[in-house]
Structure 1
Amino acid sequence: MRNVTRGPDPAEYNAAPVASRPWQTLRFKDHLVPRPPVSGINARCRLQHFAIVSYLVDTDQLRRLVPPRFMLDSVTIDGQERGLVSAVPFVNVDFTLAAYPFPRLRMGQTDYRAYIIDRLTGERAVWFFGTTLDSWALPLPRHLWQQPWHSGRLRFDCQLDASGSRYQRYHLHTASAGASVELSLTQQNAPPARYPGFPDEETARVCLTHPLVGFFHRRRDGHLGAYRVWHDQLRVEPGHLLNARFELFARMGLVSIAEQQYPHSVWMQPINDFTVYLPPTRLEPE
């Protein structure tokens, strides 16, 4: 077909392939890669009030939502296979072009994603169900790049302790058609972190915090799209969920509101640095 771009080549980015299943131990030393060069409209940004709230989900339901090109990056708990999804809220600060001076943007954002493995490359990745963005810049990803991004008003109310590294209070309120959010987290008096289905904490961190490529269905033509990010090892620390209401997950039949009170894991980081390789690519049909 004309006007179709091939997807990113993992070799170009020194992507770390997935080893054989079932679960193997993962180490960051095998997955950290140098930052690829930036050019054009590649973007640099800092993500403030960054959190990853992950849930175990039914694999049959999740497979119906993910194209057959991808397998689920699942875990096995008590002999039962479970998929993993996460909501990732943050405030995008200092968003600017990496190669050229450009006004710096600030905008609240929440990504909704599932953990997958690309059967064609063996690479760990995420599948994006959608993104809520609080910015006048929404038409660019939504209409020009056909990403499944939607409008929302995100309000963060967060307070760090005296060290500036741990959250006493983290609250997010999002008003968005079909994707409203009420989320309360803390790092005060949190119970010891557990990572069911993973052999150890580092394996969980590599799987849940370090995919560097995301796939999505383009809004108008239904083709697959993909884009890459780069970041160093995230210095996230465990958090504790006090209350959650992610309307999108409930509406999709993935995680009910009652189930959302019991996440698989919660990680938080006051701020980190990302590079985003734009624009997204349109993949050739299989």
Structure 2
Amino acid sequence: MEQLTFNDDLLNRVPPRGIDVETTLAHFAIITCLIDPALIRPLIHPRFELDLVEVDGQERALLSVVPFMDQDFRFVRFPWRKWRFGQTNYRVYVTDTQTGEHAAWFIGTSLDSWTVSIPHYLWKLPWHRATIDFDCTYDIAAKRYTEYRMQTTNSWADAEVELTDTGEQPTRLAGFDDLETGLVILTHPRTGFYHRRDGQLGSYQIWHDRLQTTVGQVTTARFALLEQRGLIPAGTEPQIHSVLMQHETEFTIYLPPRAV
């Protein structure tokens, strides 16, 4: 994989307008799993190549489960209307063969809000209603979590997560020649692609500043979706590549998504 950096193209923000969304995300975690590429390849559109790493002599794809709490989800045109809800994204890291851009392939999203009906039905996004509960305690002075638990139920993708937070910034990421390349891949995909519910290829874009994450460790990581899709054996937990955690970060989501 080529060396990547946090350059101006990645960090420059296009001013939001209209129905673009701004939101503060809390309890943001990127729990990345190592998956056999042969198992995950059928879930990805043929336009995209999997971003692969070699860990312990085996080539693996990277799938991240990304839970967070939307604190004040709001449309730029209507900033006085705000929503608060939990969300969990399931994404695989890919390269677009047409543009060369590193991107995220979204298998789907769980959302704890009635507003999920808008992306689900209007824009045909693979977003699904769920009940998501966070039990988190953040030590502001120590700049780390002393408790982090998340549970998703009544969902297409039930999940149970318990993490510990070292409070230390990452110094390496397995399989990457340098830390910054790994952070660009795992923390900063600007474009997302997915199979729309009508079978077409869909895409949307986001922006956020460079994340300032700490290294976490998994105590519990149970993801029913990975078992259902045959990505891990039933009744097992995935092989964890890394856990990156951030207390809060600002996101911009450019809408509407589009069919490609």
| TM-score category of the 2 structures, normalised to the smaller one | over 0.9
The yes-or-no answer on 1:182 pairing with 2:160 is: yes
Q: Which amino acid aligns with 2:118?
A: L
**In structure 1, distance between residues paired with 2:172 and 2:79:** 43
| Aligned counterpart, 2:258 | 281
Residue 29 of structure 1 deviates from its aligned partner by 3.0
| Aligned counterpart, 2:214 | 237
| Aligned counterpart, 1:87 | 65
Residue 279 of structure 1 deviates from its aligned partner by 0.8
Residue 99 of structure 1 deviates from its aligned partner by 4.0
Q: Which amino acid aligns with 1:251?
A: Q
Match of 1:212 among 183, 190, 195: 190
Q: TM-score, structure 1 length as denominator?
A: 0.85
Match of 2:138 among 157, 160, 180: 160
Residue 30 of structure 1 deviates from its aligned partner by 6.0
Aligned-residue identity in percent: 46
The yes-or-no answer on 1:251 pairing with 2:231 is: no
Residue 78 of structure 1 deviates from its aligned partner by 4.6
Q: What is the DSSP-based 3-state SS (H/G/I as helix, E as strand, rest coil) of the residue aligned with 2:7?
A: helix
Structure 1 residues 237, 31: CA separation in 2 closer, same or farther (over 3 Å shift)? farther
Q: What 5-or-longer segments of structure 1 have no aligned partner?
A: 1-22
Contact kept? 1:168, 1:188, Cα under 8 Å: no
Cα displacement string for residues 119-153 of structure 1 (whole angstroms, at most 9, x for unaligned residues): 11111111111100000111101000000111110
| Aligned counterpart, 1:271 | 248
**In structure 2, distance between residues paired with 1:111 and 1:145:** 17
Which of structure 1's runs of 4+ aligned residues deviate more than 6 A? Answer: none
Contact kept? 1:45, 1:273, Cα under 8 Å: yes
Structure 1 residues 162, 77: CA separation in 2 closer, same or farther (over 3 Å shift)? closer
| Aligned counterpart, 2:15 | 37
Q: Which amino acid aligns with 2:248?
A: I
Counterparts of 1:38-187 in structure 2, within 5 Å, are 38-163=16-141, 165-187=143-165
Contact kept? 1:175, 1:181, Cα under 8 Å: yes
Cα displacement string for residues 18-61 of structure 1 (whole angstroms, at most 9, x for unaligned residues): xxxxx222221365331112221000001100000001111111
**In structure 2, distance between residues paired with 1:199 and 1:81:** 14
Structure 1 residues 246, 161: CA separation in 2 closer, same or farther (over 3 Å shift)? same
Cα displacement string for residues 212-231 of structure 1 (whole angstroms, at most 9, x for unaligned residues): 01011111x20011000001
Q: Which amino acid aligns with 1:274?
A: F
Radius of gyration: which is bigger?
1
Q: Which amino acid aligns with 2:98?
A: L
Higher strand proportion (structure 1 or 2): 2
Q: What is the DSSP-based 3-state SS (H/G/I as helix, E as strand, rest coil) of the residue aligned with 1:38?
A: coil
Report which stretch shifted further, 170-179 or 107-116: 170-179
Residue 188 of structure 1 deviates from its aligned partner by 4.5
Structure 1 residues 270, 68: CA separation in 2 closer, same or farther (over 3 Å shift)? same
Structure 1 residues 44, 164: CA separation in 2 closer, same or farther (over 3 Å shift)? farther
**In structure 1, distance between residues paired with 2:65 and 2:229:** 13
Structure 1 residues 30, 103: CA separation in 2 closer, same or farther (over 3 Å shift)? closer
Q: What is the DSSP-based 3-state SS (H/G/I as helix, E as strand, rest coil) of the residue aligned with 1:141?
A: helix
Q: TM-score, structure 2 length as denominator?
A: 0.93
Q: How many residues align?
A: 259
Cα displacement string for residues 87-132 of structure 1 (whole angstroms, at most 9, x for unaligned residues): 0000011111124433111010000010001111111111111100
**In structure 1, distance between residues paired with 2:56 and 2:106:** 28
